Structure 1
Amino acid sequence: MTITQNIRTNTRIIRASFANKARVTQAQFRVETEEIDLNLVQTGGIILRNLYLSLDPYVRLTLDEDGNEATAPMRLLNVPFYGLGVAEVVASGSDKYPVGTLVTANTGYENYTVLKNAEDPYNFIRSTGVGLYNYISALGMPGLTSLAGLKVLGVEAGKTIFVESAAGGVGQLVGQLAKAQGLHVIGSAGTEEKVSYLVNKQHFDGAFNYKTEGTCEALARLAPKGVDYFYDTIGGETLDTLLEVINEKGHILSIGMVSQENGKEPYPIRNLNQISAKGVTIHGFIYYHHLQYFGELDATVRPLLERNAIEYRQQVFDGIENAPEHFINMLDGKYAGKVIIKVDL
């Protein structure tokens, strides 16, 4: 057993209350400080010093008191929020993870995370040819979701894909990877600046502002041959619209329903009959069902990042204590690209 002898101060972001169907506010967060003794690492466990934390929309689900059974352990009050992070092992009771190992893992929104089971980390970081924060963005869960999602859709060159929330951490990479595979790529975003960035910097074939132009009208203009694949992150009215306009034997990948969260009223889907009428296939997607693609992600995307062959937009903010503010701003659509917290120690 390897132990680093030290007592450290641990700042933690605690889930203070549920938002349920209301908009998330600062009332859902509490900042606490505790001391953590690295000598107390358990046999088989590790203690992580968190370096970067990923702020992701799916964490919003943990602020609803009711939910499916799978998310129940994440929906507890008076415990730290959990999300994906880049971390360094600083105390170890596991031969697999010696002190100094860099990993991506489900970490707390905190400086240090204690893992009783060292199997919890899901990816070693073996190469640091790019900034470590990339391992929770283009080389982490968003990147894995992008690459594996296109595989699940079974995309073919020459066809058209529509990417919703295309300026976000997942959508921007989906579009660029699909473009590299020979697809005609259309995206939507919520500001003119984001639309311009998608077309001029990330080389989408077309994009539109969903706040100022209807989806049907925009797709008729930008995708005259229709849509074959829909990469859906929002659900609701846009999903309903796409069921109406998607081509026969089209494929839809559902990775989230953000339009139904954060105080939004559920939208009644009316066009479900189009699934059978057109032979449409809808695929549900959860990233951790596809961890086997991490190696391919690193081999495919890391070289592109190293030589600036793709444009991946992300914003890195300092300070664990600022995570609540940036999490709320992210849900409110105030940021472009992936949102990351650099943990100050």
Structure 2
Amino acid sequence: MVKAQVYIYSNPFDGFPKPGDLTIIEEDLRPLLDGEYLAEAHYLSVDPYMRGYAPGFKVGTPLIGGQVALIRESKNPNFPEGKYCFGQFGWRSYTIANGVYDRSTAVNMQYVLPDFKGLSPSLGLGVLGMPGNTAYFGVEEICRPKVGDTVVITGAAGAVGSHVGQIAKLKGCNVIGITGSDDKGKWLCNELKFDSFINYKTQDFKKTLKQIAQDGVDCYFDNVGGEISSIIINQMNSFGKIAVCGSISAYNEKQAKASVIQGPVTLQQLRMEGFLVTRWNNRWGEGINKNLQWVQEGKIKYRETITDGFENMFQAFTDMLKGVNYGKSIVRVKSLIK
């Protein structure tokens, strides 16, 4: 009998998550039924949205999240034994799944990973998974920048932001990344070829943005929200576009505040649109294939911050919320990977 370890949401997050908020329990898994398969977690994702969705979690339920898992046993021909799959299985080491999910909303998304051409299956959680598709569709369908546009990205050193900036560069844009350390900023500019960065923790943000974006901002990819977003929106050009992907700055705040933005949105006739990447669920493979092509061509680079050990998921989660990670934050269950 297979025993699964599962992280249970024990106490509602009150501000920043604390160790006692989650509890690891063990479950005995039953034998498979026809149409089911057994997934063994090898790589698990920690993402900002997990904290953002926390107010809707029910105490006593497993924490949500995606993982790349090895199919250990299968009675489902669409999920063959020995293949890697992606599944929204949550924070658990083993899962019995049946491959069925709501394709209109991608709730409980499950699919066998395509051929990554020798690249690590862990990329199915990052550049060749949800974050990569978020960047791809967010730029292609929401921002739609033109050659010469100035594009500003908050959370620029994260899995989504670092990818967004590189796609914008491929389109001939002037790209400004907002981050919280000079080391991350240097990585963005030296390795990923962003044009410039602003360290919002050490620089006068409003003044520096005016100096760097002297002709204004045309596109803004917002992962953070808060006062920084208000400053950027106030410096946007007429008919500028804003893609709202997240609000990291407010996830741990009990009462978040930022300046009113309705004035500049109206006067500059800005288009501001929030989105969930699952909107393009019917084009999921398109995004993965395009990002894989760019990676193989050396046009998109990526970085993974890997924490070893299922027992260290909470640490990886809180490190990610503190901005410790470069690129995609992943937990590797090293003991299970042969």
Note whether the superposition's TM-score is higher than 0.5: yes
Q: CA deviation at 1:122?
A: 3.9
- Equivalent pair of 1:48/1:87 in contact (CA under 8 Å): yes
Of 175, 195, 208 in structure 1, the residue corresponding to residue 185 of structure 2 is: 195
Equivalence for 1:18: 12
Which residue in the other structure is 1:136 paired with? 125
Q: How far apart are the structure 2 equivalents of 1:76 and 1:61?
A: 14
Structure 2 contact 44–66 (Cα < 8 Å) conserved:
yes
Q: Retained in 1: the 8 A contact 2:210–2:235?
A: no
AA partner of residue 11 (structure 1)? Q
Which residues in structure 2 correspond to 1:208-219 (within 5 Å)?
Answer: 208-219=198-209
CA contact (8 A) 2:76 2:98 kept: no
Give the stretch that moved more between structures: 238-247 or 138-147: 238-247
Between stretches 44-53 and 327-336, larger displacement belongs to 44-53
Contact kept in structure 2, 1:50 and 1:107, CA below 8 Å? no
- Give the secondary-structure state (helix, strand or coil) at the position aligned to 1:289: helix
Residues paired across the two proteins, number: 327
Correspondent of 1:111 among 66, 75, 93: 93
Match of 2:146 in 1: 156
Cα offset, 1:81, TM superposition: 1.2
- Residue number in structure 2 paired with 1:145: 134
1:307: how far off?
4.9
Structure 2 counterpart of 1:46:
37
Counterpart of 1:274 (choices 257, 264, 269) is 264
Paired amino acid for 2:138: G
Distance 1:248 1:139 in 2: 34
SS of equivalent to 1:234:
coil
Provide the secondary structure at the position in 2 that maps to 1:312: coil
Cα gap change, 1:145/1:136 in structure 2, threshold over 3 Å: closer, same or farther? same
Instruction: Report the 3-state secondary structure (helix = DSSP H, G, I; strand = E; otherwise coil) of the residue aligned with 1:107.
Output: coil
Q: CA deviation at 1:204?
A: 0.2
1:283 and 2:273 equivalent?
yes
Corresponding residue for residue 324 of structure 2? 334
The residue identity in structure 2 corresponding to 1:179 is K
List runs of 5+ in structure 1 lacking aligned partners: 1-6, 65-71
Which residue number corresponds to residue 69 of structure 1?
none
The answer (yes or no) to whether the contact 1:11–1:321 under 8 Å persists in 2 is: no
Instruction: Extract unaligned runs of 5+ from structure 2.
Output: 102-107
**1:302: how far off?**
1.3
The code of the aligned residue for 2:176 comes to I
1: CA distance between counterparts of 2:144 and 2:87? 29
CA distances 1:262-294 after superposition (whole Å, capped 9, x unpaired): 135311441212222111010111111122333
Contact 1:243 1:275 in 2 (8 A): yes
Alignment partners' CA distance in 1, 2:292 and 2:254: 37
Q: More displaced, 259-268 or 88-97?
A: 88-97
For 1:215-238, what per-residue CA distance to the aligned partner results, in whole angstroms no more than 9, with x for missing partners? 322222222211000000111112
2:24 matched to which residue of 1?
31
When the two structures are superposed, what TM-score results if normalisation uses the length of structure 2? Answer: 0.91
1:1-345 aligned at under 5 Å gives the runs 7-20=1-14, 22-37=15-30, 39=31, 41-64=32-55, 72=56, 75-116=57-98, 118-119=100-101, 120-129=108-117, 130-151=119-140, 152-263=142-253, 265-343=255-333, 344-345=335-336
Residues 34-57 of structure 1, C-alpha deviations (whole Å, 9 max, x = no match) = 3323x2x23443331111111100
Tell me how far apart the structure 1 counterparts of residues 135 and 111 of structure 2 sit (CA, whole Å): 17
Contact preservation (8 Å) 1:102, 1:125: yes
Supply the distance in 2 between the matched residues of 1:187 and 1:264 (Cα, whole angstroms).
27
Counterpart CA distance in 2 for 1:265 and 1:305 is 40
The one-letter code matched in structure 2 to 1:173 is H
Partner SS, residue 83 of structure 1: coil
Alpha-carbon distance in structure 1 between the residues aligned to 2:207 and 2:130:
33
CA distance in 2, matches of 1:116, 1:76: 24
- Runs of 4+ deviating beyond 6 Å: none
How far did residue 261 of structure 1 move? 1.2
Tell me how far apart the structure 2 counterparts of residues 310 and 268 of structure 1 sit (CA, whole Å): 34
Partners of 2:186 and 2:144 in 1: CA distance: 28
Matches of 1:340 and 1:281, distance apart in 2: 34
Per mean C-alpha deviation after superposition, the further-off stretch among 161-170 and 78-87 is: 78-87
The one-character-per-residue Cα deviations of 1:272-326 (angstroms, maximum 9, x if unpaired) are 1222211101011111112233323233221332354432121111111100111
- Is contact 1:252-1:282 (8 Å) kept? yes
Whole-angstrom distance in 2 between the partners of 1:183 and 1:264: 37
